[in-house]
Structure 1
Amino acid sequence: MGKINFVFYSMIFLVSVAMAGKPTAEEENLYNECDKGNGKYSSCTKLIEILSKKCDSGDMIGCSDLGYILGPKLGMREASITPYEKSCKAGIAESCFALGTQDIGLRGNIKKAVINYTTACEKFTDQKKLFKLRSCALKVALENCLRDEEEHDPVKCAIEAFEEITDKYNANSTKE
């Protein structure tokens, strides 16, 4: 599980950087203080407050960013699910990918992971080709894990597939 958590956090960080719109100067400052630690937990709580308001007002990138701050940044992975779900339902591919990863590593719900990776596969554009390919490959691999669930543990199969696909695409991304 340690490797899947590391991979999850690394990928979500990269996705968050790639998807981030133009944050306000205050948000950027709060994010940097929260991200770097520096004893500035108050920066994290203020950032959560700002992103929560954005999410509640219908800003789906704000919801996705909130999920990222709550989950990978602060370790509140269960709390990150609601904003990720909201933004995934709105078609934010990065949130769907994050949910798929949590469905495997946190909840062990492979059927739900397939749904979320399917959405991510459909919603990622060619500008984020590696994430699109990874999402599509995970969807197929997890469907195969579910087909054979009477013969083996689908969660174990899913974790192994996730690690294998992540390793494959991480190796490919360093060549590009």
Structure 2
Amino acid sequence: MGKINFAFYSMIFLASIAIADKPTAEEENLYNECDKGNGKYSSCTKLIEILSKKCDGGDMIGCSDLGYILGPKLGMREASITPYGKSCKAGIAESCFALGTQDIGLRGNIKKAVMNYTIACEKYSERLEEERIFKLKSCALKVALENCLRDEEEHDPVKCALEAFKEITDKYNANSTKE
């Protein structure tokens, strides 16, 4: 799931730049230094500080970006849940998708994943091809996970959810690379 998540979360951050107020030159610089690795952990730390202030101030795209930097970038997945949760409650589809992914892989909470994928399915627009694909993935995951929960007497719902996630992600990734 690592490569898939990296591509997804990179898309989140870049999409949020387009949606939100234009980031400052400092934020773009910090993101690039943090993103490229370059041994610039201090850039990640400074970026977290800036995004935390934005998130605390009610900037839900800032919360989504903070979740991305904490989770996929720095591997602090548990710490990313709070900002992702805050922005998902505000209807940021990317955050809801990210939470659904963590609900499956990190927490094994399939019922919560269904809720988050439901919101993502409803909130993703179809104006860009990438958003359309994530909308389709979210809707497909919602249905697949509901089926996993329906059969929990006979099957492990977490194992079923992990298999469904892989199958659906592979399907949509293969389709998006053909187009």
Q: Which amino acid aligns with 2:146?
A: E
Q: Provide the residue aligned with 2:178 in structure 1.
A: 175
1:5–1:105 contact (8 Å) kept in structure 2: no
Distance, in Å, in 2 between the alignment partners of 1:105 and 1:7 is 13
Q: Which amino acid aligns with 1:9?
A: F
Q: Provide the residue aligned with 1:93 in structure 2.
A: 93
Q: Which amino acid aligns with 1:169?
A: Y
Length-normalised TM-score, structure 2: 0.94
Q: Provide the residue aligned with 1:166 in structure 2.
A: 169
Deviations 1:7-61 (A, max 9, x none): 2232222232223232110000001111112221111110000000000000000
Gaps of 5+ in 1: none
Length-normalised TM-score, structure 1: 0.95
2:138 paired with 1:141: no
Q: Provide the residue aligned with 2:157 in structure 1.
A: 154
What is the CA distance between 1:5 and its match in structure 2?
3.3
Distance, in Å, in 2 between the alignment partners of 1:99 and 1:146 is 18
What is the CA distance between 1:163 and its match in structure 2?
0.3
Runs of 4+ in structure 1 off by over 3 angstroms are none
Q: Which amino acid aligns with 1:152?
A: H
Aligned length: 173
Q: Which amino acid aligns with 1:166?
A: T
Gaps of 5+ in 2: none
Q: Provide the residue aligned with 2:59 in structure 1.
A: 59
Identity %: 82
Residue 5 of structure 1, aligned match among 2, 27, 34: 2
Q: Provide the residue aligned with 1:70 in structure 2.
A: 70
2:13–2:68 contact (8 Å) kept in structure 1: yes
1:97–1:116 contact (8 Å) kept in structure 2: yes
Q: Provide the residue aligned with 1:31 in structure 2.
A: 31
Distance, in Å, in 1 between the alignment partners of 2:175 and 2:146 is 23
Paired residue secondary structure (2:136): helix
Report the RMSD for the aligned CA atoms in angstroms: 1.0
Distance, in Å, in 1 between the alignment partners of 2:95 and 2:48 is 17
Distance, in Å, in 1 between the alignment partners of 2:6 and 2:151 is 29
Paired residue secondary structure (2:103): helix
1:110–1:146 contact (8 Å) kept in structure 2: yes
2:97–2:120 contact (8 Å) kept in structure 1: yes
Distance, in Å, in 1 between the alignment partners of 2:143 and 2:118 is 9
Structure having greater relative contact order (Cα 8 Å, sep ≥ 6) = 1
Paired residue secondary structure (2:155): coil
